[in-house]
Amino acid sequence: MRRVRAPTWAQATTVQEALDILCARPSGGGCCVTVGANGDYPDLVTALKEMLERGERQLCLCLLAGEHEFAGFDFEQPVDERELHIAIKGCGAATHVLWHEALRLRAVDAVALSGLGIELTFAPDKADASLRFEHCTNVSVVDCTVDGVVAPGRFENDAFAPGGALIAVTDADDVRLSGNILMAAPPTTFPLLRDLTRLASVNLPNSLRWRKNARR
């Protein structure tokens, strides 16, 4: 029987193909590690830090169904390092992540996010974003929900100060944004909505409840 070699990263022509190849590899050599209760890592930040510190270059992380908290992560890939690929995926609406600070990645060769339900607990401001990718060669954000408040642009001391954003991608070669639900609102929206629903004796669902720490 003729053996068929499994495809490698070098054969991938898109971020999605690279993600599919990585996740199809057998355990012990690169299959996605799990994040969450009873997973390989307790949270996403711990997983990213420990895998990068070990020198791993093909990171595939699967957030288990349930509640997660993300405390923020800022990373820049050194120019002389080997190619770095980061794939983070969840289970759609079943993976709910309270996003307390931004994910900022710079000069990463390939970044792929999919199937995440992200709820911001802070308001990105000053041209920042909850998901910020700079000088990353390939960026893919697919089938994710990002819901939260962003600070609007405004004039400060006779100069325009840009506001925040849910997703920001700059200087990338290939970008794929597909099947996402992005819900952004200025800081004044939710208090007004909350007051109106209180007058009408209507309870807001959890996804629309304004979080006090996002107003800071």
Q: Which of 10-19, 102-111, 151-160 comes out lowest in average pLDDT?
A: 10-19
Q: Is 7 helix (H, G, I), strand (E, B) or coil?
A: coil
Angle, CA 52 vertex, CA 51 and CA 56 arms, to 5°: 70
Please say if the pLDDT value at position 197 is more than 90.
no
Question: What range defines the domain where residue 40 resides?
Answer: 9-186
- Structurally, the chain folds into a number of domains equal to 1
Query: 129-154, pLDDT tens digit by residue?
Result: 999 999 999 999 999 999 998 888 87
The model carries a pTM of 0.74
Question: Is 19 part of any domain?
Answer: yes
For 56, 73, 107, 132, 174, the CA distances from 49, given in Å and listed in that order, are 10, 9, 17, 18, 26
pLDDT of residue 195: 57
Question: Is 207 part of any domain?
Answer: no
Query: 44-57, pLDDT tens digit by residue?
Result: 999 999 999 999 99
DSSP state of 109: S
Please say if the pLDDT value at position 191 is more than 80.
no
Strand partners, 118: 97, 146
Question: Is 159 part of any domain?
Answer: yes
Please say if the pLDDT value at position 100 is more than 80.
yes
Please say if the pLDDT value at position 207 is more than 50.
no
pLDDT of residue 87: 97
| Rounded CA separation 203/142 (Å) | 31
Cβ-in-10-Å burial (0-12, 13-18, 19+) of 91 comes to middle
Band (pLDDT 50/70/90 cuts) for residue 72 is very high
Question: Is 139 part of any domain?
Answer: yes
Over residues 162-188, mean pLDDT: 91
| Rounded CA separation 90/149 (Å) | 22
Question: Is 202 part of any domain?
Answer: no
For 56, 117, 151, 191, the CA distances from 203, given in Å and listed in that order, are 47, 22, 25, 13
Q: By percentage, how much of the chain surpasses pLDDT 70? A: 72
pLDDT of residue 162: 79
Angle, CA 75 vertex, CA 43 and CA 150 arms, to 5°: 75
Q: Which of 29-33, 98-102, 155-159 comes out lowest in average pLDDT?
A: 29-33
Please say if the pLDDT value at position 128 is more than 50.
yes
pLDDT of residue 58: 94
pLDDT of residue 26: 41
First to last CA, the chain: 65
Question: Is 68 part of any domain?
Answer: yes
The answer to whether 66 and 34 are in contact (CB under 8 A) is no
Query: 2-43, pLDDT tens digit by residue?
Result: 333 445 545 566 655 555 555 544 433 446 999 999 999 999
DSSP state of 101: S
Over residues 161-180, mean pLDDT: 93
Question: Is 192 part of any domain?
Answer: no
158's tokens = 């006779």
* Residue from 17, 16, 82, 8 nearest 52 by CA: 82
Question: Is 216 part of any domain?
Answer: no
Dihedral angle over CA of 126, 132, 134, 137, nearest 10: -160
